[in-house]
Chains A and B, each alone.
Chain A
Amino acid sequence: SQKIEQNSEALNIQEGKTATLTCNYTNYSPAYLQWYRQDPGRGPVFLLLIRENEKEKRKERLKVTFDTTLKQSLFHITASQPADSATYLCALDITGGSYIPTFGRGTSLIVHP
């Protein structure tokens, strides 16, 4: 069955460092992969989308990579700040579109001042 895995343990880092979050998947041929940020009790907010034929995408301090051979996406936040503390979700939708994206459970990032 299709499966998405994100590290369930919280990631603790110091302010100014680069945070790297991982999203692994199995039994998928994703058309694209998305990253969302979610604050406690709030709805997810879209951050970045990367397509299956793209290797890397950047937006300000954010960078996403997509390796369809390893079936993995890495999400980087450079020069992290305490305000970046949140849960980050990855989501996949399959090639051809199923209209039912599958979300990972999310990884909590805590940036210490």
Chain B
Amino acid sequence: EAQVTQNPRYLITVTGKKLTVTCSQNMNHEYMSWYRQDPGLGLRQIYYSMNVEVTDKGDVPEGYKVSRKEKRNFPLILESPSPNQTSLYFCASSLSVWTTEKLFFGSGTQLSVL
């Protein structure tokens, strides 16, 4: 089954404790991206990747890191989480390299930073 898998589904942590949210897709997609969704603000893109070792900032990259060492994986790293990073996070992928058409989203990771 074609899917984007995120882990964990729920995560509670404390300020400053480094964490990683994993994302993996099994569709051989070139384009992958991370979003956060906050009430009243909609989905905002954090980072995206066009291919292995190619990443770039989205609209809200501050406080986040990503890496793309393999085509299928695109982890999101919070080096020193803060309470304002409490949010619902989604990973997404797309077959198309040059556009953001027809995004496949993961099920989401609800992060709470205390």
Q: Does the CB pair A101–B103 fall under 8 Å?
A: yes
Residue A32 CB within 8 A of the other chain: yes
- Rounded to whole angstroms, the CA-CA distance of A91 and B110 in the bound complex is 22
* Total A-B contacts with CB atoms under 8 angstroms apart: 62
Q: Does the CB pair B45–A100 fall under 8 Å?
A: yes
Give the size of the chain B interface in residues (CB under 8 angstroms).
29
Interface size on A, as a range, is 20 to 34
Q: Is the interface of B mostly helix, strand, loop or mixed?
A: strand
Q: Does the CB pair A101–B107 fall under 8 Å?
A: no
Q: Does the CB pair A44–B105 fall under 8 Å?
A: yes
Q: Does the CB pair A49–B102 fall under 8 Å?
A: yes
Type the 1/0 row for A25-46, where 1 means its CB is closer than 8 Å to any CB of B.
0000001101010000111111
7 A-B contacts (beta carbon < 8 Å):
A32-B99, A34-B102, A34-B103, A41-B88, A46-B102, A89-B43, A100-B45
